[in-house]
Amino acid sequence: MSTEQFTPRWIALDGAVNARAVVPGVLLRTDNLQSLSDDDVRRLVQDERVEVVVDLRTDFEVSREGPGPVTREPSVRIEHRSLYPDSGGNADLDAATVDLWRVDDGVAPEETPVVRAYLSYLRRRPDSIVASVASIARAQGAVLVHCAAGKDRTGVVVALALDAAGVDREIIVADYLATAERIEAILERLVASPTYRDELAGHDPQRHAPLSGTMERVLALVDQRFGGAAAWLTAHGLPDADLRRLTERLAPLR
């Protein structure tokens, strides 16, 4: 698939605004699923064939927001894969503003806070990232990956999966940047929640939009430091069979 052929396939839901199918029937990504309607759940399960939901929110977010209505669907398996080292009391809503991630991870200090944060996910929670990618590889139906906004944590996991499967970098970046189309609706929805209101109230939505150059730089650093996403994943425990299966399942984007 060429970059010109790639356009996000948005999924219209009552209770989420950043929902799209990266590979229909295989990999979906969304913002928080807490407010899904019964019709939303039916669509995700029946029409989009969701089998697994990978929830990247922290334990704190899940406890504050609740598990969400998808948990009532017996055919769907929910996997909580926080990207925080210790999720108690934290809501990793915007990577650029969370001081916890501004640590020395061997990344040059001139890198942007978002780039440093994204690489911190790899250093601090490789277990969660590898398990998330393994779920994408092993599922028979679709895997839905989400966090709060569907931008930072979701963006990193999806980008690494796509990169490991050999998807063109320009397509990976285009998928990452697509969240910018929905950023105002995402912020409006999050500000309505007490969990995120204090952090976001009064912010210009564009302050939180994904920026061109961010994901390109992250993937370039993964190449330089680890030999690429596939090498990083296998070095941290992803079996070769899962990598082959991942490549097969994401082949429509190649």
Q: What distance in Å separates the CA atoms of residue 98 and residue 137, rounded to the nearest whole number?
A: 31
What average pLDDT does this structure show over 14-24? 97
169 pLDDT more than 60: yes
**For residues 57 and 157, is the Cβ–Cβ distance under 8 A?**
no
What average pLDDT does this structure show over 133-162? 97
Alpha helix (H) residue ranges in 111-205: 113-124, 126-138, 152-164, 169-177, 183-191, 194-200
Higher pLDDT, 212 or 199: 212
Cα distances (angstroms) measured from residue 141 to each of 68, 77, 130, 251: 20, 11, 19, 15
Instruction: Please give the pLDDT value at position 231.
Output: 98
Instruction: Please give the pLDDT value at position 101.
Output: 43
Return the percentage of the chain with pLDDT > 90, whole number.
73
What average pLDDT does this structure show over 210-235? 97
102 pLDDT more than 50: no
Cα distances (angstroms) measured from residue 39 to each of 42, 57, 99, 218: 5, 23, 38, 37
Across all residues in the chain, what is the average pLDDT? Answer: 90
User: Encoding tokens for residue 233?
Assistant: 């994943």
Beta bridge partners of 161: none
Residue with tokens 């939901």, as numbered in its chain:
53
Least confident of 66-70, 125-129, 147-151: 66-70
Look up the pTM and report it: 0.92
What average pLDDT does this structure show over 76-101? 67
Q: What distance in Å separates the CA atoms of residue 208 and residue 195, rounded to the nearest whole number?
A: 17
Burial track 46-79 (b if 16+ CB lie within 10 A, e otherwise): eebbbbbbbbbbbebbbeebeebbbeeeeebbbb
What average pLDDT does this structure show over 145-150? 96
Instruction: Please give the pLDDT value at position 32.
Output: 94
